[in-house]
Each structure stands twice: as structure tokens, then as C-alpha cells.
A and B are shown apart, each in its own frame.
Chain A
Amino acid sequence: MLLPLGLLTGSCNTSGCTDNHSALPLMGFYDYATGSSVTLDSLDLGGVGAPGDSLLVHSGEKVSQVYLPFRDGVSSSSFCLHYDYKLQGLDNPAFDDIITFHYDAEPYFASSECGAMYRYVIRDVEYTRHLIDSIAVIDPVVTNVELERIQVFFRTASTDADDDDYPQEGAGV
């Protein structure tokens, strides 16, 4: 007698996690002049201080978006962007850009299926402006929901002709 009700109850359960099992900010690349998405194929991107200097993106990969895992236990995480464009003369550490996120990590229970994790509230963003023009944070609260919350606007070759060649540093959210 209980079995039909049990089956009925079980049949209405929502199974599986449709979002991520951890809070990962998703960063997208854009052309600052046109605002359109760009794909980079010679970019090395990794966390500053990551074990073994491991990279999140290797040169040769075509990327237009990348997940940036924030470091737990500290209030900021930095990421280095190295442009491996030898023909354009950008293969120089002097043109590397560093992005630093300052954030608060908060305990967060997403759901029974997606689990428990830290979510992050971005307080500030610092970055160099060698090839980065600006950075926009669309939503400072980073949860496990897949959403591009960070947008990086690059000075690309076609739009970079009139700009000076001296890198600058900038900051902002």
C-alpha cells in the first residue's frame, strides 16, 4: 500500500545538478573597440602562485572564455596573461598582464544535488593595461550558476593602431 505512494513521490524528484558543483567565475574576451567577442589562440593564462606554475589556458588553444578558480582561504587571487604572439613581438614578459580579484568567500549550499561550496563576492579588481583596455564585472556574486560575470576588453591589432605603445595600469570593478 505504501509502494505506490513511494513510487509517486520518487517519480517527481529532480535528479542531477544542472549547474556546476563549485562556484567558478567565467571570464570572456572582447574587443574593446567593437565590443564583440574575440578568440585568442596564443595565450598562456595561469594563477599566480599556482602549484607547478600550472596553466589554465595553453598557447595554441583557441579560447574566448575561461573559468578562473578562486583560491580558498585567502581574499584575493591573481592571474597572469602571457601573450605568445611572436610575429607581433608580443612574446615578451614585459607585455604580460596581471589581473587580481579581491573577494569574500561565503559558505553556500546550492542544492542537495549540486552540493555545498564557497561562493564569492567580488569586491575589487586590479589589472595591468599592457593589452587589456578594461575589465567589467557583470555580477559580483559568483555562484555555481554558469554565467559570464567578468568581461575583459583587449586592444586588438586592428583597433590598436592609434594607441601609444606604453603599457598602463588600471583598476576598477
Chain B
Amino acid sequence: MRLSRLILTLLCCLVCCGMSAQRRVTPVKAGSKNLVGVNENKQPGDSIDRSRLVSVTDDRGNKVLVDTVTGKEVPDTVAVDGVTQGRVPKMINPLLFSASVGVDLWDPLMRIFGQSYGMVGFSAEINLHNRYIPVVEVGLGNASSTPSNQNYTYHVGLSPYFRIGANYNFLYNSNPDYQFVAGIRYGWSRFSYQLRDVLITDGYWGQQETVDFPSQTSSVSYINVLFGLRVKIWKPISMGWNVRFRAILHETEQPGGQPWYIPGYGARNGIITGSFSVFYTFSLGGKKKTGPALPPGFEIEEPGDEVPPPSAPAGDDIEPVVPEAASAEQTALPVVKDKEE
């Protein structure tokens, strides 16, 4: 009997020892009461204590959340029934983003390389949202060309031209130092042209004479479709290149022949031309929108009077911050214990 009691006692001890040596895992839902996660990157205003918020509707119908402790108001960005829905803005730059003036150096440079026509052009533009760019261009053009193996000198006195149109910047939400644009222009010019020193030779009748043909006045309207790049090179200075496809829309009927050079349009020798411009850009001072769109009447406050961020834990004696409204058991992280305490 004593022997059987001893055997039973030993078996119980063995069973107990075996159970105590088994790894014990804490269930997931039963979290620790002592360890709490801390967001070390938390900044003032990153989170809102919703227990202190009350939702009100302002006089414009916008839902506003008011912190009952600090009195701070923030728009309800998750509201679905008004303008206060949180969304990525279509254009992050303000309406009046910048203005630029430029000078077209294409013709002056080409004249250095032997071109016998063209003078200079100027442009002014307003950049709306860094996306839509209305443009006005004015300039002067002239020509005095005597082609080789030809019997004339084509002359156009200094004449103005005007162009109006707009560019569309495909990189409107990117770095404004770079633009890739497509644009359209309507141009117009009225000018006089003349064929001078025309050598008329008639070998059969034995005649040869040099005459000046009468001057003719023409009015021409045309269209440009362009694609261009612009790059900021130094502070407000930027450079731009354009490739322009051109077509004449209307021109005065001339019995004596159509003009060869048209101020602003260029020489009538193809459908493609180009421009190279230098721009000076004025910033119009608009603020860039970086967050969700705010409803009318709301502004983004500067973080001056915000609650200072919690200091990073420096030792074991620092107690973690636990939200007041939530119980510790609900917010505690699950942990694994090696031993029962």
C-alpha cells in the first residue's frame, strides 16, 4: 500500500514537472498590461483625440470637428455629404502661380548663321496652376534675301507681328522648374514686300533689263501648333525650346504672287519651324497646396501653439503614454511570455 502511494506520488511529480517544462503561449487577445506601442515619429497634430471632439456644422454647411479642450477646429475630412471629403487635389499649385516674359532668340541666332530674314520676338505669359499658360507674343520681322542662282532680291521692311494662344503644361504637379508643354497660337501680320533688282533676260528677243517690281501689301493669318520644353537655368531665368507646326489660314489674294517671307510665320519653305527663348519668371506668391483640399474658409494653421511632441523614451522608468479613453487591455500589444510570473 505504501509502495502504491509512493508510485502514485512519483507519477504525479513527473506529470507536474512535464507540464511545467512545456512552452506556454499567451493567447493573442489577452494582451499584456504593461507594454504599449509608441510612435516615435508622431508630430503635433498628427492624431486627434476623438473623445474630445464634437461635430458641428458651420454656416456654410461644412462639417467641423471641434476639440472641446483646446477649442481647435478642424474640417471633417471623412464627411461624405459635403465639400469636406478628403481627396488628393487635382492641382497643387495656386491659380496665379507665376508670370513670365521672354525673348525669342531663334531668328537672331539663325541670322548669325546666314539666315536672311527674321528679327526678334517677345512673349508674355501667365502661369495658372502651373498648368494653363495663356501667351501673347509680339515681334518684328524683316527680310532682304537674294538667293543664289536667282534673279531677284526679296525685301520686307521691318514689320510687326502678333500671336496669341496658350500652352498646356503636362508636368503641372511636378517641379515647376521643368515644363513640357503643348500649345497653339493664332498669328497675324500685315506687311509690305517687294521684289527688287529683278533681272529679266529674254535670250530670243535679245532683251535684258533690271527692274524693281511694285511693292505689295499683304495680310496673313496663320496657326502654330507647338511642343516645347522649358528648363530653369538660374534663379528666375529659364530657357525654352519649341518645335512649331505651322499653316496659313488666310492671306490676301495677290495677283503678283504670294509673299515668300511672312513676319512671325517665317519663310514659306515648309511646315516646321522652331523657336528658342529665354524667359524671366516672376513668382506671384501663391502657396503650394500640399494636403487634402480644405473647404472654403479654412486655413492650415502653423504648428506654433501645438502641444510639444512627447520625448523619446530614454530609460525603463519612463511610463508609456496610454490614451485615456481606451482601456489598456484593448490597446495593448500581444506579447509572448517564456515563464509564468
Chain A contact residues, CB within 8 Å of chain B: 1-2, 5-6, 8-9, 12-14, 47, 50-51, 54, 56, 69, 71-73, 106-113, 115-118
Contacts and interface: CB of A to CB of B under 8 A. Distances in A.
Contacts of B198: 107, 116
A109 B213 contact: yes
Contact of A116 (B195, B202, B255): B195
B151 interface: yes
A56 B213 CA distance: 29
Contact of A111 (B151, B207, B260, B276): B260
Contacts of A71: 202, 205, 207
A135 B206 CA distance: 27
Contacts of B272: 8-9, 12
Contacts of B206: 50-51
Interface string B159-186: 0000000000000000000000000000
Given A1-B241, A9-B273, A106-B255, A73 B207 contact: yes
Interface of B: 106, 109-110, 113, 145, 147, 150-152, 154, 195, 198, 200, 202, 204-207, 209, 211, 213-214, 241, 243, 255-258, 260, 267-274, 276
A113 B149 CA distance: 9
22 contacts: A1-B241, A2-B109, A2-B276, A6-B274, A9-B270, A9-B273, A12-B271, A50-B204, A51-B205, A56-B204, A71-B202, A106-B256, A107-B198, A107-B214, A108-B257, A109-B260, A110-B257, A111-B257, A112-B268, A115-B151, A116-B151, A118-B200
Choose among B147, B205, B214 the residue with the greatest number of A CB atoms under 10 Å from its CB: B205
Contacts of A51: 205-206
Contacts of A1: 241, 276
A162 to B, nearest CB: 38
B297 to A, nearest CB: 49
Contacts of B110: 6
A107 B256 CA distance: 6
Given A5-B274, A13-B270, A69 B205 contact: yes
Given A8-B272, A12-B272, A112-B147, A117 B207 contact: no
Contacts of A69: 202, 204-205
A108 B216 CA distance: 11
